[in-house]
Amino acid sequence: MSLLRELSNYGINEQGASVRSFTNEAVPELLDYLDLVSQRKFPLTEENELLPDGVAESQGRPLLFIINESRLAQSPKDKEEQLRTLRRKLACRGDRAYLARIRPGELSVVPVSLDDITPEWERYTPGTPKALTFFSRLALGQYDGKGEPQEADYVFAAMFKLVWNVADRLASLGLERTDVLSLMGRALFFRFLRDRHVVREMDCPEIAPKAAGIIDCFANAENAAQTSAWLNKTFNGDLLPLTEEGSISYFKEIGKQTGGLVFTHLTAILKGEEPSGDLGWQTLLRLRFRPEERNWGEYDFAHVPVGLLSQVYERFAWKWEHETAKETSVHYTPRNIAGTLVDEAFNKLPNAHEARVLDPACGASVFLVLAFRRLYQERWKAAKQRPNRRVIRKILDTQLAGFDISESAIRLASLSLYLTAIELDPKPVPLADLRFNHLRNKVLFNFRRESIDPEEGAVAGSLGEHVGNRFDGQFDLILSNPPWTSLKKKEQALAADFNRLSKAIIARRSDAETANAYENPDSCPDLPFVWKATEWCKPGGRMAMALPARILLKQEEVPRNARETLLRLVEVTGIINGTNLSDTAVWPKMSQPFILIFARNRQPKPGQTLRLITPQYDTSLNRKGEMRIDAKSVQPIEVEATFSQPWIWKTLALVVECRWIHGEGRTNPTRRLVSQGSAGLCLRR
């Protein structure tokens, strides 16, 4: 059977999709599928594991994984088990995707999912309209069958709940919150190493000599202490620090304090099950009325991307430190948003394999993880051979940098970067060679400086004078989702510092008159981060950031002048306007309109034109966490024209909004920026 010829019967062709085969050696274009490529020198999975033959992508994202029906077992029972297992493994990747069985004359499709029960396969026969339009409709979020997950990023949501519940249980046992984060992170890290066959049963005597097997490495105080000591040694003491450096006395104490339940919870992560034992009546009562939870056994960490883990860690780190605060979406960046920024920023970047990348508000390092992978891919292309461990370590140690003010975020960022290095390594054994260099104060920097006033919540962080100018002009690419929240009245001294910082940078880029006229709008740190990024970035380098859309939409004098100053002094090349996408699953819990801005660190030439891309609201796609961008979404904007007609920005956003009010029939009144009566005027204008 010719796979490509057969797929063309279902609308899968070169015009609408890229089909990638997994049956050959790994190549740079298969970077995102290394866990699925069957021919590899170091097997990350069991020899008899069923893996797909390829994938059909839409807009560069995996959509339809394909397996040749002839490779399946003959027994219906065995075939069903093979497909159920494969469907769950593919679900662990966290993509909105589907699994297809193909044979001459028939295509059978189901959504990938963590659920045990496989829904009825949706079948397509060549030559029918349903078959010919199948893939194009699937790309637009229209699936004919049943069984699609209800949540857009369902694997992230399920894993976050599981991580949070375990952390909550450990904290309820009286453990220090910082230790809870480190203990759980270490157990998850060890589970990742085990599922990826980096640590094997034969390594157990070296890690925890008295453990009966790998899954018992956290089973008691002695085993846990020895395992933690091995992690400290292997990862150079830079991994999720513990009280007393995780000594045997520390583990004995927390074992005594919790009646051994701490080891029950940690071992459950390794065994892939929910913890059992006496959790206490209050905990049991809370669990009794909690919806049914998933367990660790549903995840195969050989197929869970580190980018997904980073997203979980980033949201967890913030919420864990601010449990009583109102959660807002600016505290973590969805992988699809981060991926869009990274892909576009790297597109046709000169000497991309040598680029140095900075995220000045890195959190748990979602952007750095994606940039790490892209740098690896660019090295692979440039050298025409897959980079080895030495090259991977060089990329990590010399081409990446992240700033933050959260100790938890910095710890989890280290963990994410270690995991990425192991994930990319073509042969991550023997264990003795896994040792990393310290990342702290070389790759990752905690720039928090506490205020003298304990009531003052915000700190200068990466924008503070204590950072100095040692990073200025050092980076080819700045990627970030900086803080957006307006500073409070009691933090106005800090707002004034940010204002002075912005004015000083503007004066250096332009003149004193322009700087004196400038004011940061709304006491927000977002634009100060943009201005400071122009100094961290090399001249002519690139910047890509997620920012609030108010930078474009506000028309009052201060925000208008701030926007125009930015556009006069920085060459903004493109903007993705997410006005229509707030309150959708594209960015869950995001109630503010947002933009993704792309720029070059130089003053624009006269006649500069940028591309404003406004994705239309699309019910089917947006509820699946994806954007719809087509030819109608793109508007070329002559930048200088917006200075005399500043209303252009808001008008263009409103025009698109009007289109979906009339065309899509969206009913949420809080999202309508114009009324039905004024929509016609907006369109005519």
**CA gap 679, 685 in Å, rounded:** 10
Give the pLDDT mean for 588-594: 85
Q: What is the DSSP pairing of strand 475-480 with strand 357-359? A: parallel
Q: Look at residue 611 and tell me if it is in a domain.
A: no
**Same domain, yes or no: 135 and 181:** no
Across the beta sheet with 571-577, the strand order is 444-446, 400-404, 357-359, 475-480, 537-548, 594-600, 571-577, 609-613, 634-638
Same domain, 240 and 161: yes
Structure letter (DSSP) for residue 327: P
Q: Which of 230-234, 489-493, 548-552, 569-573 has the highest mean pLDDT?
A: 569-573
Same domain, 134 and 179: no
Q: Which residues fall within 8 angstroms of residue 629, CB to CB, at 6 or more apart?
A: 59, 576, 613, 615
Residue 134 and residue 225 in one domain: no
Whole-number pLDDT of residue 248: 96
Q: Which of 252, 276, 304 is the last residue of a domain?
A: 304
> Does residue 513 sit within a domain?
no
Residue indicated by tokens 């009007």: 658
Bigger pLDDT: 184 vs 40: 184
Residue 125 and residue 23 in one domain: yes
Spacing of C-alpha 588 from chain mean position: 13
Tens digits of per-residue pLDDT, 332-355? 788 889 999 999 999 999 999 999
User: Of the candidates 304, 336, 371, which is a domain's last residue?
Assistant: 304
Q: What does pLDDT average to over the chain?
A: 85
Average pLDDT over residues 228-240: 82
Residues 245 and 171 in one domain: yes
Are 125 and 158 in a shared domain? no
Q: Are residues 159 and 84 in the same domain?
A: no
pLDDT at 684: 23
Domain range for 161 is 154-304
Total number of domains constituting the chain: 2
Range among 157-166, 296-305, 329-338, 553-562 rated most confident: 553-562
Reference 426, options 50, 46, 32, 26; nearest CA is 26
Cα 454 to chain centroid distance, Å, stands at: 33
Same domain, 162 and 293: yes
Residue 196 is assigned to a structural domain of this protein: yes
Domain endpoint, select from 277, 304, 331: 304
Helix (H) or strand (E) holding 292: none
Q: Residue 101: inside a domain, yes or no?
A: yes
Task: Describe the strand order of the beta sheet including 98-103 as a list of residue ranges.
Answer: 18-21, 54-58, 61-68, 98-103, 106-111, 122-124
Pair (161, 298) in one structural domain:
yes
C-alpha 556: how far from chain center = 34
